[in-house]
Amino acid sequence: MNKNKKILIAEDDDFLRLLLQTQCEELGVSVDSVENGEQLITAALSYQYDIIITDIQMPVCDGIQAMQLLRQLGYDRPIFAMSADAISAEGFTDTLTKPVDNQQLANIVLQTSSQKRIPLVIDETLTELFYENLQQQKIGFQQALTDKNATVMRQICHKVKGGAASFGHIELTDAADELQSLLQQKPLDAPLLLRCQQFSQLLQQCGESNARS
């Protein structure tokens, strides 16, 4: 019954995200995960998920802001909030207390009907949000490049590759994916610094392409 259901998890803590993903997979559902609200919105509007489970406190765009924007855009599928603190459930389907109990998960998976998969429709508000975030990532990447901070550059590559292809920037997604791997595996030598500079220029070009359109 659960094998055809898909869950999207939004959680910025790597350990908690992996833990929740494992819990969901043990229930026999397919799981994707993201680490901030901007990625959550992009993924949700692909209309490929039956259930969304989101943390409240996340970078870029928190869980409440993401839920409110999705509801404004007409997204009517189940969105469950996770929080260790008491929160208002308005707009959410329900709230889950962290750490999330296995029985809670089993109940929402069982009680939620499978949803129809439909094509992604990108709205102007979502596009503006993406490019605002891209501008922030560009500035952050350039500063990390100046500081020769491979960790921050790798984190930014991970964030960029999550949504760029949905907005037509397939080259940026591919470049971010490749550079993330290189920064993980190789020392920050001259050739890799050059690749980082080229990626920074690509970030700039993608941002300018929106300004020209």
Question: Are 23 and 91 contained in the same domain?
Answer: yes
Closest CA to 52 of 32, 72, 69: 32
Domain-embedded: residue 117? no
Tell me: do 147 and 75 sit in the same domain. Answer: no
CA-to-CA distance for 131 and 156, rounded, in angstroms?
14
Residue-level pLDDT at 1: 52
Per-residue confidence (pLDDT) for residue 53, from 0 to 100? 95
Question: Same domain for 155 and 198?
Answer: yes
Q: What whole-number distance in Å separates Cα of residue 64 and Cα of residue 57?
A: 8
Q: In angstroms, rounded to a whole number, what is the distance separating the alpha carbons of residues 103 and 43? A: 26
Whether 23 and 100 share a structural domain: yes
State how far the alpha carbon of 159 is from the alpha carbons of 78, 89, 119, 172, in Å: 24, 28, 23, 11
| Residue 116 forms part of a structural domain | no
Number of domains in the chain: 2
Asked if residue 49 and residue 133 are part of one domain, the reply reads: no
Range(s) of the domain holding residue 179 = 124-212
- Do residues 161 and 180 lie in contact, with contact meaning Cβ atoms separated by under 8 Å? yes
Position 120 scores a pLDDT of 60
Buried residues in 89-100 as b, exposed as e (16+ CB within 10 A):
eeebbeebebeb
Q: What pLDDT, on the 0 to 100 scale, is given for residue 189?
A: 93
CATH of the domain at 84: 3.40.50.2300
119 is a domain residue: no
d(CA 6, CA 74): 20
- pLDDT by residue, tens only, the chain of 213 residues: 556 789 999 998 888 888 998 998 889 898 998 988 888 988 888 888 999 999 998 877 889 989 998 998 888 999 999 887 777 778 999 888 888 888 988 999 888 888 887 766 667 777 888 888 889 899 999 999 999 999 999 989 987 876 777 777 888 988 998 998 899 888 999 999 999 999 999 999 988 877 655
Residues 16 and 61 in one domain: yes
Cβ-defined contacts of 114-119 (< 8 Å, 24+)? 114/4, 114/5, 114/50, 115/47, 115/49, 115/50, 115/77, 116/47, 117/47, 117/48, 118/47, 119/47
pLDDT the model gives residue 121: 62
In a domain, 150, yes or no: yes
Q: Is the peptide bond before 99 cis (omega within 30 degrees of 0)?
A: yes
